[in-house]
Amino acid sequence: MIELGVPFDNITYSTLITCAKRCRRFDRALNWFDRIYRAGLIPDEVTYSSILDVYAELGRREDAIVLYERARAGGWTPDPVVFSVLTKMFRAAADYDGIRYVLKEMSTLGVKPNVVVYNTLLEAIGMVGEPGLAKILFDEMLAAGLAPDEKTLTALLKIYRKARWGRDALELWERMRANKWPVDLILYNTLLSVCADFGLEEEAESLFVEVQNCLQVRPDDFTYTSMIKTYCSVGKVDSALEMLDKMLDGGVKPNVMGCTCLMQCLGRAKRIDDAVRVFDIAVGRGIKPDDRICGCLLSLASMCCESEMTKVLSCLERASPRLVMLIRMLGDGEVQFAEVRKELRSILNDAADDVRKPFCNCLIDICRNRDIPLGEAANCCILERSLDYTLDCKTMVLQNGR
């Protein structure tokens, strides 16, 4: 076309921009957009929508808003797809003001959101944590005559769960059943997670039966894990173990979350042998021990008696030989504090941020429970200070008790 001197029109530019966007060649999409103005053309609604999507993908919120307002000043009326794109952009940045801006624009223009836009808005609100606004939007959606789908209900339940709105979550579940709204496995699992969070044993068992009787879905590892967490939250260890056995009999591979939760519960019940069995099952089913499992084993080591310590340390040896070596260093009176400090620093630097304090707290518990005369070395939180960690309440209490 260039060689023959065929002039480009809006359709040509829009097609090139859309193609570049789909190929994730965002630089080329922006380049073609600039050429529209140099050619003396005015972008149409398709072009605006495409380039706004490019800005959203790049996280360039200010550029997107400037373009949006410039297009609006030129008489452009955006459709629901555009607002869905803007909402996704603000959701990715957890920008609450941006979400409010989108809602205000839609209201001003009288644009009625469809189910996809409502789903995007609810997901975005979930990122910024505004359950009240989510509930209002959901009620508006129903008042507009739109029926929620599985994504709508899952997004709303996740918001309620995060905000600890247990009563609202249960009310939504009752409305789902009364209205026979569609349910998929992700939604079932979200409902079961709510039950696990609030210790709703009967409700969880009822939901689990529904999943088993549903021909369209089959329980997966998250389904069983939620049931295990529910039983653990109410202290029914045997029921949790039975659920693990059902999980294995059904050919479902356990996950780290379910195993660590069950091991912790067994540890609190002083059933160390069963906790060791769960660890063996997890490793035997292909789970690679990570920091969470190591932290769980450290916690078991801090709970068990001296006669059971060997079994727990044997498991920990398979998960993290360095942690076992460190525990042995703590019990060795000839090891200097500098050596303990160096090894602990190295372990914590390599560990995930969210397990560093639990690691230290469990090590302090082990020292206290085994009555290890470590002097300065027992003060594991000295290392926390040296690594600029903020001491939590338990660490301070343990140190004061020491």
For each of the chain's 402 residues, which pLDDT tens digit applies?
Answer: 888 888 888 888 888 988 998 899 999 999 988 888 888 888 877 788 888 888 888 888 898 899 889 888 888 888 888 888 888 888 888 788 888 888 888 888 888 888 988 898 898 888 888 899 999 999 999 998 999 999 999 999 999 999 999 889 989 999 998 999 998 999 999 999 999 999 999 999 999 999 988 867 889 999 999 999 999 999 999 999 999 999 999 999 999 999 999 999 999 999 999 999 999 999 999 999 999 999 999 999 988 888 888 899 999 999 999 999 988 887 777 777 788 888 888 898 898 888 888 888 888 888 877 665 544 444 444 444 434 443 444 444 444 444
Residue pair 217/188 in contact (Cβ under 8 Å)? The answer is yes
List of residues 6+ apart from 177 with CB closer than 8 A: none
Residue linked to tokens 């949790």: 240
Domain segments of the chain as ranges: 1-76, 306-402
Reported for 323-332, long-range contacts at CB under 8 A and 24+ positions apart, including other chains, are 323/294, 323/297, 323/298, 323/347, 326/363, 327/301, 327/363, 327/366, 330/363, 330/366, 330/367, 330/372, 330/374, 330/377, 330/378, 331/370, 331/372
Question: Residue 20 has which token pair?
Answer: 């570049």
CA–CA separation, 301 and 45 (whole Å): 64
Instruction: Give the CATH number of domain 1-76; options: 3.30.360.10, 3.30.750.24, 1.25.40.10, 1.20.1600.10.
Output: 1.25.40.10
Do residues 264 and 299 lie in contact, with contact meaning Cβ atoms separated by under 8 Å? yes
3-state per-residue secondary structure call for 226-284: HHHHHHHHCCCHHHHHHHHHHHHHCCCCCCHHHHHHHHHHHHHCCCHHHHHHHHHHHHH
Q: From CA 51, how far away is CA 64, in angstroms rounded?
A: 8
Contact at 8 Å (CB) between 77 and 93?
A: no
Neighbours of 5 (CB within 10 A): 6
Written as six digits, the tokens of 40 are 């003396």
Nearest residue to 104 via CA among 63, 133, 67: 133
